[in-house]
Every structure is written in structure tokens, then in C-alpha cells.
Structure 1
């Protein structure tokens, strides 16, 4: 890859989420590969603040999301002049907001940069003529999972050869325990005999914590020594999980942890990792974390999860909202610890083969190289 390659990533993301984490990891790694990446978004964007702290170049002077038509009319020529001066080789657009304006401006530049539309959103893409034309006019479309790629091809009549799948990747060296499970259990005063099942996700309705809680009631009757660990980094206002937990007959069996810097140590004390989501999961850092820690995974058939978990080999898959099925799968693993250990080892192998951060970067650079040559 040409070390002088210059990339603009347009991502006016209003909060820190899996999508913003993908972009931050991507730009940090591309910088190490000699690519000059600029992340463009709105002023006050928390992702841009994180990017700046990481030493990445940001651009927040242009508000393409304003509802004031006069302000937009003044902003457009300024953005066009700036992009012409910068001479980007590739412009990678990650959000629908501002897509029309930025793509149109990019097409007017001389020389015209290569254009990519990256999508990490499981919600159906709009099928109006303008959106169809915009997607079809891209040099490449990157989807964060195969299900999303197939949906885009069908929904927008895209050339399948133009649509590429790149999974989010995790660096195993940056997510590994620094303490033994026994040390962490001792620090947290967790009984030695406890059998821990973990769920790591923001507290949000879409993450299905209520179904995990309901399954815990069934599991506790079968396996009294079972305990349940919930780790989160954010609470969304719609979530009522903590209220439900307080009223639950198994509330004393739950350990709930907020944001921590030692999440690898925390999650490693669990025997099984659970993903109870009822939607979303365009990418899943949480699933990869369990796999990196060699834990078998019990997950719902949502988003990318069926592409990460091999049923009966690295864990189990079940339908969303199926608390009974979740309980049955977890009990099965707890009753067969050797099988669970083998599934965890196999999941770790799959993670190393397919879902490392370096794989994500290699595939991204391959696409860059292909579209630049065209």
C-alpha cells in the first residue's frame, strides 16, 4: 500500500458505540500502516474527542447536518474547497446523514477520489431512487457482516462484486487477562464454588437483559451454585433491567459491574458468555471478547452473531427472546464442563483465524488497493 495514501472517513456519529469503535480502531491501525486518515464529523462529537486523544487527525469545522438551509448553502462550498485542497485518494462514508451532500461534492473533485460507503447498521437501507443511485455509484460498499451485505445487494440492486464484508476485529494482545481467575474471584469475594455465567453489553432494551434474567431463574433451580455476572459500559434511559433485577427472586445471584478498565480480568472469571440481544448486532465486540477468552458462547440469532458462533462447535444459537432455550443451553454447558472447555478452545481458534484486528486491517487495505487501481 502506498504510504502516502490519504483517506477521509465521514462519520457524524453522535455517541460512542460499536460503529465509532470500529472507526477508531481502523484509523489507529491504518496510521500505523502509513495511511493518513482524517475523521470528519460534527463539533462536539464524542468519537472525535476520542480520536483526538489517540493522536488521530480530525475535522469538525463543517456542519453538514444543520437544518438551516442558509447555513448549509454557505457550508457546502467551504467543504468542497477544503476537500479539493486536501486531495484525498479515498473518501469512506459511514453514515446516511450527509451522504448525499458529501458524495455529490466528492464526485465534483478533480481528480475524483475513490468512494466507499461503509454500513454498520442492521436497519433496512432506504430504497428510494436517490439512495439506490448513490450506493450504486460507489466504487465499493463495505458491510460489517454477510447478512447485511446480502440485504444491501437485494434491497438496492447492487453489483455483488462491489459489496465486501469486513468484520470488526479485536486485538488479542489488548484484551487478555493480567490476573488469574482465582485472583479476581478472591478480590471480588466470589465464592469458590460459584459457577459464573456472564453477559457483557450496554444496558439497553435491544440487548435483551430481561430474557437473561428470566433464564437465570430457571438455571438457579437446576444448578443452585450458578451466579450471573452483568458487565456494562453504558446505560440507556429506556432500559429497565436494574428495576427488573431488584424485583427478581434471583437478584442476590447477580453481580453487576459498570465501566471498568480491567474487563478482560472480570469476564475471564465466567465459564460461559451470553449474548441475549433481540436486535442490532451489526458487529459484536462482546462476542469476540468471549471467544478471545476461550469461553463458549450462547447467543441469539441476531445480526452478525450466527456468523461468529458455530452451533455445537463454539457454542449455541437460539431465537431471540427464548429464555427457556437460553436456560437449557447454559445448563447443558454447566453440566458438561469438558465439552464447554472444548467449545471455548475451538471458539478461540476461530477468533484467531478470522476475527483479529489485523485481519480487518488487511482486508481493508486490500479493498483500498483494488479501488485505487481501478
Structure 2
């Protein structure tokens, strides 16, 4: 374990912020955290990042940018070893004289909020990037409600997510919240500069209409809804193909269902890709047919919007806050494969409408969902919560 190197003593013009994550492997939350700390104003803030472990490629990005990073390579636990974990966090907080302590997943909340209070950190804040389900048990939810008074403020990535924690989870938030939408790298997802992957790599004809989805192959992502929608799509757009970008535990089940439905020759699963920006140009329409527990402010939708693609998605969680119905795409009911097929097929058959919606979606993404927007909002938030401690 490498010790965090000091960046000099804190001063009135530089606020030390420690971001503590459960792990630092590849994920949407880790992507957003990396973008935040590597773009934040370091004349004003001293960002530090730590995690229980393991870590992955994003940690290399932090180190390349000169962001102090510490990975403990331990499994967080809540048995007799919990006091040792808390004590270790307290030592880190005191050693680095942390002024704002930001936690993320369940282990960092339970252990971190307690450690933050013991260390007398001026501000403890929590960034929520999901709903926690289906992993969270009623016992976990009860424990978080009981401990939530230890956290000063909560960040949510969609207003629907904030309402979920208030109305469904029963958290007493009492105005202690801020909604900060995710931000994407608009330069990486620029249709004017990206060189697309050749269609031949996926065995797709040059003139075949393509509906695409970029999502981990997990049950809650509901890829089977797209497969069941294929007949409806083809009624409007003969020869249409479904390009599924990603991999995951449901892959065998999805492939089996495709054979059962007789659509296996109209579907391609690419497996894991780290060049999504080169595959998105092949899409004529981007879809996301997830269940309610799966999404908050999905980066995949923002990336597709930035690439100028119309969106057809289920109307769950924060998606209605991203997709403007009838302008940048369409929203359909949960697991409504008929409506999904109708909307996707209609856009594939009407390229002019699809292009107009895609252009509107790109303009919307550039106007409020980029890394600079996300970072600027965080900086305003930190200034506000820090100034409240100085009164």
C-alpha cells in the first residue's frame, strides 16, 4: 500500500477533499469520480482518493494526473474487524487534515460516516450513483437510515433518484440534498472526429438499419425486451439488426432466447469493448430497456446523445430527465416490447426524423451534461457546504 503524499499544508484558499470508494475498478461511478478529481480546480481544492480495493485502470489515470491515491487492498467487513477499519480511516482523515469527506457505496457510508465524526471532519457528504437495489437488503436500508444523520449532505445524479431515497427508502433528507447530473467527455464522443469501426467487423451489411444498446449483460438491463421487440422493429424496417455492446452473466441466456425466438441471425453481441465511441456511429437508434432498479443517470444514454443518436428507452428513474419525449427520442413502459418495437421501428423507417431527434439530443447533451458542467456544479456545491462551516 502506497501512502498518500502530502501536497503541503492546507491553507484558507485550498480545501482538502477526500473521496473514498469501496473499489476503483471499471464502472460508471469510478469514471465520474476520475473525471471529477482530474478536472477540479486544484488551485482551490486538494483532491485525494482512497478505496478499500481492488483498483484498476482508472487508478492509473489518477496517478498520471498527479492525484494522490491510496488502495488498501482489503475487504470491508462489519464484524469484529470493523473497529480497526474505522480506526484506519480516522488516522487517514486526521493525517491529511481532510475538510470535506465524500463517501460512495454502502461500506464507505457505514464505516466512513462513523470515522468522519470521530475525526471531526468539518463536512461529510455522500454521492449516490445508484438505487442500491437489488443488492441492498432491508437490514442494510434500515442501518443507513439510522446512520444517515451522521452525513451532512447527499448528492444524487437525478431528481428521480432523490425522490426514491426519500419516498421509497424513507430517508429524512430535510433539504440536505443536491442533484448533480453525470457529465461525459464531449470531445471523445464527437461524431465529427470519431473514426467508426467497420460494419464488416460485426458482419452487418452497409444498408442494414441498426438499433444498438450499450449495457452490461445483467438481468435488470432487460436485453430480452429488445429481442422480443425485433419482429415489431422489422415490420417497419426490414433487415434491421440489433447490435448489443457489452458482456456479462446473462450472455448465455440472451443467446439462448435469441435462438428460441428465431432472431439469432439479426443480433450481434460484441462482448466487452473499450472503444464504444467508435461503435456508436453505427447505431441509427440507441435503446435502453432497463428495469427501474437499473438506472439513475446512465452514461450510455448521454454518450449516445452526444454522438447525435435518438434514444428509445424505458421511462424509469432519471431517464425522463435526460430524454425529452418526442424531441430527442421516445420513452416507453417497463418491459413493453410492443411499444419499444413500434418506436424503434418507426425511427429506423424515418431517417429524417431520427436525424432531427439525434441533433436535438446532441445539443441537449452539450448544453448541460458534459464533464465541465459536472465539475463546475461540484465546485459550487463544495463552496456552499464549506462556507456554511465558516459562519
Do both share a fold (TM > 0.5)?
yes
Say if 2:262 is the partner of 1:249: yes
Say if 2:167 is the partner of 1:148: no
How much is the aligned-residue C-alpha RMSD, in angstroms? 2.8
Segment of structure 1 superposing worse, 194-203 or 29-38: 29-38
Deviations 1:25-44, CA, capped at 9 Å, x for gaps: 22222266663222222233
Say if 2:41 is the partner of 1:27: no
Change (3 A) 1:335 1:3: farther
Contact kept? 1:12, 1:42, Cα under 8 Å: yes
Instruction: Indicate the residue corresponding to 2:19 in structure 1.
Output: 9
Select which of 204, 222, 232 maps to 1:218.
232
What TM-score results when the alignment is normalised by the length of structure 2? Answer: 0.85
Secondary structure of 1:258's partner? Answer: coil
Instruction: Indicate the residue corresponding to 1:372 in structure 2.
Output: 386
Contact kept? 2:17, 2:101, Cα under 8 Å: yes
Secondary structure of 1:236's partner? Answer: coil
Per-residue deviation, 1:238: 7.6
Select which of 104, 110, 126 maps to 2:114.
104
Say if 2:218 is the partner of 1:204: yes
Say if 2:273 is the partner of 1:263: no
Secondary structure of 2:384's partner? Answer: helix
Gaps of 5+ in 1: none
Contact kept? 2:99, 2:122, Cα under 8 Å: yes
Per-residue deviation, 1:323: 0.6
Q: Distance in 2 between matches of 1:291 and 1:89?
A: 37
Contact kept? 1:135, 1:141, Cα under 8 Å: no
Matches within 5 A, 1:31-46: 35-46=45-56
Contact kept? 2:22, 2:53, Cα under 8 Å: no
Q: Distance in 1 between matches of 2:37 and 2:375?
A: 9
Secondary structure of 1:97's partner? Answer: helix
Select which of 320, 345, 349 maps to 1:335.
349
Instruction: Indicate the residue corresponding to 1:308 in structure 2.
Output: 322
Per-residue deviation, 1:137: 4.0
Q: Distance in 2 between matches of 1:87 and 1:273?
A: 46
Secondary structure of 2:178's partner? Answer: strand
Change (3 A) 1:116 1:255: same
Select which of 118, 133, 158 maps to 2:173.
158
Per-residue deviation, 1:192: 2.6
Deviations 1:296-339, CA, capped at 9 Å, x for gaps: 10000122111111111110001121110100001221232211
Q: Distance in 2 between matches of 1:311 and 1:340?
A: 13
What TM-score results when the alignment is normalised by the length of structure 1? Answer: 0.88
Change (3 A) 1:237 1:214: closer
Per-residue deviation, 1:46: 3.8
Q: Distance in 1 between matches of 2:249 and 2:141?
A: 32
Change (3 A) 1:3 1:351: farther
Segment of structure 1 superposing worse, 287-296 or 121-130: 121-130
Q: Distance in 2 between matches of 1:356 and 1:43?
A: 28
Per-residue deviation, 1:236: 2.4
